[in-house]
Structure 1
Amino acid sequence: MNATKNKLVIVGTGHVGSAVLNCALSFNFVSEIAVIDIINKKAQGEALDSTHAIPFSTGTNVNIHAGTFEECKDARVIIIAAGPSIMPGEIPDRLTLASRNVEVMKDVMTSITQYTKDAVIIMITNPLDIMVYYAENFFGYPKNKIFGTGTTLETARFRSIMANKYKVDPKNVHGYMLGEHGNSAFPAWSLVNIAGVPYNQLDSYFQPNEPLDTETTAASVISVAYDVLNLKGCTNSGIAMAACHLARAVLFNERSIFPVSTTLQGEYGLHHVALSLPCIITEEGIERRIEVTLSDEEIKKLQHSAQSISNVMKSVGLLK
């Protein structure tokens, strides 16, 4: 690897990229952060503003600056948050961004690969699974070194909803949202438990005000994303935290398991599509996709996610 220090590059300094920058500073896990944006003045302003936060930090000093894609040549982690997002009032479906952001990702990946194929790339740009598939399969970059935040954020939302229902710490809720980062994501109920108690026994152990309704709970995980979007105009805090947790897993070789987006290689009979499954994250990116045991119904939902994404990839020329 060409990287000589803990250096993070953030591509895109809109609502999400700027939130990633602030979150990365709070994590205190890198010595240098370079920010890149098509509007260089915006990148310069974000870097300058964040520099003024350093005197208040209890951690080490961080070299924060704007730059070009040449900054990627010695980066350990690159987080891509470039491209437009869904705006309030638009169709509430991330897949509608595909045609716009394929062109954005072409420019970004072409620029990155001029300088490195060593850094681990964490992708946020939507529609995420399509962007991940494109980046992994069209630019000659090592596939294990590229992955998307995937359903890590949906999983956090799901755990939060379940924790509120049963009045426990969300960190004690175990389970995943899988599939598409978007409207067809689903909770794998067969894997869900709190303190080892499976989901179908939770009501008797924790006695909530109302019985668990799995369909309503699953729908609320999807709809709450659009609640945030419509209330504040964007979603950035949760996804920034997710991306930085993933970056930390890489930088410290944590071997943490997250449901991230990556191109499947025959898991559940699926090929030529990127979806979220639990994956082991190391300093080299994805070490392994874990083909967890799912119910027949959950496999059908995963296949539905795959079909939904594949149809859009065909529409923008990424699949025949």
Structure 2
Amino acid sequence: MAHGPHLVIIGVGHVGSDVLTYATTLGLFARISLIDIDQDVSKGQALDHHQATGVPPMLSTVVEQADYTACADADVIIVAAGPSVSPAAAESVGTASRNSLAEINAPVIRQVMAGISAHTHSAAVILITNPLDVNVHIASTEFDYPRSLIFGTGTALDSARLRRIIADRTGVSPDSVQAFMLGEHGATAFPYLSHATVGGLTLPEISKILDIPAFDHEEIGKAVVDAAFDVFYSKKWTSSGIARSAIALARNVVLDQKAVAPVCTVADGVLGFHGEVSLSLPAIVGANGVERHLEIPLDDWETEHLTISAESVRRVYDSVAEH
């Protein structure tokens, strides 16, 4: 048995496979266990990545096929189980297509959480499966599992896309951009631009200095939401960015980074919410999972769009809630 951090990945399709690739190259985990409803897939992925550890300078990470008993000593569990958006759904309902998966993936998440909670209540559980906000709410409110340890990648990837867009328009590195997308991981996500900065400068300040057009909330928000579908319509799925986001969050937990990230959790006692919905807000992520939310100031436009986003998520959750 390998000694060191243990990662369990549940679902090793397009997204889970990329999660696995980034996890093995990160060199943080001593052991990675793979669970999939298709045991041939999990076996094949385990063998493929086990053999790849023979390529220098890869570390000799143990990669194994497993079942839910592997969760018993896991430090982090990443859930990518369930089908993703199909090209037909995307063509039919566009940016709302993630929510079309609710009826299919809600039972998947309930099954996965039952499997996890039968063996552990101490591992951080990071969800990727869409519709992300709805599935986080199911996992957090329908199971006797510590809420602080259940969170979704949320708008972490949307925020990365936002930083990339701002960086491209200002001609700087994304590392110099501090900006978040908030709310739903989906069509109603919105940019938190009132406190976005580039090199410590507000967006109006950097726009004036560089003599570039001002950043418009509506336009840039749509550009970020549409960015995922630019990828999807070309390769028929998205996987790389979301996988990197999940592994970055796992790293925050294992190394107790206390990083601020817009992860999806039950919104309770923050910005007027009282546990009725799960969505993405800035939070501190460390060894104890989501350690606290940040009570951020919002302008009127952002307040309005947070309400719209919360209502959208709640409607979808109500359609699949168990009564």
TM-score range relative to shorter protein = over 0.9
| SS of 1:228 mapped into structure 2 | helix
Deviations 1:39-95 (A, max 9, x none): 000001111111122122425310001111111000000000000111112133211
The 8 Å contact of residues 19 and 247 in structure 2, kept in 1 or not, is answered as yes
Q: Distance in 2 between matches of 1:191 and 1:99?
A: 36
1:261 corresponds to 2:267: no
Structure 2 residue aligned with 1:311:
315
The 8 Å contact of residues 144 and 287 in structure 1, kept in 2 or not, is answered as yes
Gaps of 5+ in 1: none
Q: Distance in 2 between matches of 1:6 and 1:202?
A: 42
Deviations 1:156-179 (A, max 9, x none): 000001101111001111111000
1:71 corresponds to 2:75: no
Q: 2:278 aligns with which of 267, 274, 279?
A: 274
| SS of 1:122 mapped into structure 2 | strand
TM-score (norm 1): 0.96
The alpha-carbon distance between structure 1 residues 57 and 281, as it changes in their structure 2 partners (threshold 3 A), is: farther
Moved more, 308-317 or 129-138: 308-317
Q: Distance in 2 between matches of 1:106 and 1:4?
A: 30
Structure 2 residue aligned with 1:247:
250
Q: CA deviation at 1:111?
A: 0.7
Structure 2 residue aligned with 1:111:
115
| SS of 2:54 mapped into structure 1 | helix
1:222 corresponds to 2:221: no
Structure 1 residue aligned with 2:12:
13
1:56 corresponds to 2:60: no
Moved more, 268-277 or 166-175: 268-277
The 8 Å contact of residues 204 and 214 in structure 2, kept in 1 or not, is answered as no
Q: Distance in 2 between matches of 1:230 and 1:12?
A: 23
1:28 corresponds to 2:27: yes
1:81 corresponds to 2:80: yes
Q: CA deviation at 1:203?
A: 1.6
Deviations 1:268-292 (A, max 9, x none): 2123100111111111101001111
The 8 Å contact of residues 194 and 202 in structure 1, kept in 2 or not, is answered as yes
Deviations 1:214-255 (A, max 9, x none): 322111100111111110010000000000000000000111
Q: CA deviation at 1:4?
A: 6.6
| Matched residue type, 1:102 | A
Q: Distance in 2 between matches of 1:213 and 1:303?
A: 19
Q: 1:133 aligns with which of 132, 137, 144?
A: 137
Q: Distance in 1 between matches of 2:214 and 2:259?
A: 32
The 8 Å contact of residues 9 and 32 in structure 2, kept in 1 or not, is answered as yes
Structure 2 residue aligned with 1:236:
239
| Matched residue type, 1:96 | S
**Number of equivalenced pairs:** 316
| Matched residue type, 1:228 | V
| SS of 2:284 mapped into structure 1 | strand
The 8 Å contact of residues 203 and 214 in structure 2, kept in 1 or not, is answered as no
The 8 Å contact of residues 87 and 229 in structure 1, kept in 2 or not, is answered as no
Q: Distance in 1 between matches of 2:236 and 2:146?
A: 35
1:201 corresponds to 2:205: yes
Q: Distance in 2 between matches of 1:178 and 1:60?
A: 36
TM-score (norm 2): 0.95
The 8 Å contact of residues 10 and 79 in structure 2, kept in 1 or not, is answered as yes
Q: CA deviation at 1:310?
A: 0.7
Q: CA deviation at 1:113?
A: 0.8
| Matched residue type, 1:200 | P
The 8 Å contact of residues 4 and 74 in structure 1, kept in 2 or not, is answered as no
Q: Give identity over the alignment, percent.
A: 40
Q: Distance in 2 between matches of 1:179 and 1:99?
A: 21
1:285 corresponds to 2:289: yes
The 8 Å contact of residues 266 and 278 in structure 2, kept in 1 or not, is answered as yes
Structure 2 residue aligned with 1:102:
106
Q: Distance in 1 between matches of 2:62 and 2:183?
A: 37
| Matched residue type, 1:277 | L
Q: 1:151 aligns with which of 144, 148, 155?
A: 155
- Aligned Cα root-mean-square deviation (Å): 1.4
